[in-house]
Amino acid sequence: MILFLLMQLEPVKGERVVVFDKDGAALAKAFDGIAARQEEVFGIKIRKFALTFVEGRRVLVLPKPDKKILETGARWEIQWARDLPRGDYLRHEVAHLLLLEAEVKEDARAKNPYGTALPDWMDEAAAVLAEESLVAEREATLRSAVQKERLIPLKEFFTMHHPGHDEASGKVKDPSAKNLVFYAQCRGFPKFIEETYGLVVMHQMVKAAQKGDDMNTVLDWMIKNRKKLKNPDGGLPDTIDALDADWRAWAATK
């Protein structure tokens, strides 16, 4: 049935995505941009994927799609349920899946079927950076957190479990003020890094997380490779507390 429905739609081919949907052109443009931005921010490579819409209320990732999908140039597929919302919900959740596919290799899928090995803040940053209509809300939350001194300290932020999910069960908890600040900080922190030091530092943060290193190794790298940064002659943080101070000063201006 799914294959029959796909055959009724001409695929819209973007650079990084192939979309089977009546709104294929708009979606292809949106997800080409989302995938490109994720590659830019995290220093990863996203394989071309297909986005298809199926009946029901589930979302599936198919590492090995059928022949018709493969013929479009896509190497894997995301099936999104027609009954689920689109808009920022679609953008947010698909962005999660793009990072997941890029980070979780084929031989690791059985051991790690959901989520990446990256810290929760990186996983969530990939998703909130893909949002569109929620941007103003995230920025307002960040402003409020700065004014009320409720920003999450980076020592906690870098290692914390997503506050909106129960750590033991993984189930969604009721939203809390800290949860909303977490989302806003996941959006703002990468922008701070980009504007202050350059995305080369975000790439180093990802590499460190992939190896299981803490963020202090990234600060050491910054000192040793200052010429690669946007402000090579500026005062560079050599501790997490110093980085936290720089982040708070930046957030206060935004």
- 16-41: per-residue pLDDT in tens? 999 999 999 999 999 999 999 999 99
How far apart are the C-alpha atoms of 215 and 118, rounded to whole Å? 12
Residue 169 has pLDDT above 70, yes or no: no
The reported pLDDT for the residue numbered 235 is 85
Does residue 222 contact residue 201 with C-beta atoms inside 8 Å? yes
Structure tokens at 215: 């963020």
Residue 153 has pLDDT above 90, yes or no: yes
Number of domains in the chain: 2
Q: Provide CB contacts within 8 A for 32, sequence distance 6+.
A: 14, 15, 16, 17
Are both 55 and 136 inside the same structural domain? no
Residues 130, 135, 140: CA angle, nearest 5 degrees:
145
pLDDT in tens, 72-96: 999 999 999 999 999 999 999 999 9
Our separate counts of H helices and E strands in the chain read 11, 5
Confirm whether 19 is domain-assigned: yes
pLDDT bracket for residue 103 (50, 70, 90):
confident
Are both 124 and 47 inside the same structural domain? no
| Burial of residue 57 (number of CB atoms within 10 Å: 0-12, 13-18, 19+) | exposed
3-class secondary structure, 172? strand
How far apart are the C-alpha atoms of 222 and 217, rounded to whole Å? 9
The reported pLDDT for the residue numbered 246 is 96
pLDDT bracket for residue 7 (50, 70, 90):
very low
How far apart are the C-alpha atoms of 127 and 205, rounded to whole Å? 17
| Identity of the residue numbered 104 | V
Full residue range of the structural domain in which residue 229 is found: 120-253
What percentage of the chain reaches a pLDDT higher than 90?
A: 77
Residue 113 has pLDDT above 50, yes or no: no
Asked which of 64, 87, 110 is the last residue of a domain, the reply is 87
Residue 195 has pLDDT above 80, yes or no: yes
Residue 201 has pLDDT above 50, yes or no: yes
Q: Which tops the pLDDT comparison, 166 or 9? A: 9
The reported pLDDT for the residue numbered 234 is 74
Are both 233 and 150 inside the same structural domain? yes
* pTM, to two decimals: 0.88
Are both 64 and 164 inside the same structural domain? no
Confirm whether 114 is domain-assigned: no
Q: Which tops the pLDDT comparison, 108 or 139? A: 139
Q: Provide CB contacts within 8 A for 63, sequence distance 6+.
A: 76, 101, 106, 109
What separation in angstroms does the CA of 115 have from each of 4, 12, 231, 238? 31, 29, 34, 31
Confirm whether 111 is domain-assigned: no
Report the C-alpha dihedral over residues 24, 25, 26, 27, rounded to 10 degrees.
40
Residue 166 has pLDDT above 80, yes or no: no
Confirm whether 166 is domain-assigned: yes
Confirm whether 164 is domain-assigned: yes
Confirm whether 97 is domain-assigned: no
3-class secondary structure, 221? helix
Structure tokens at 140: 């307002």
pLDDT, the chain, mean: 89
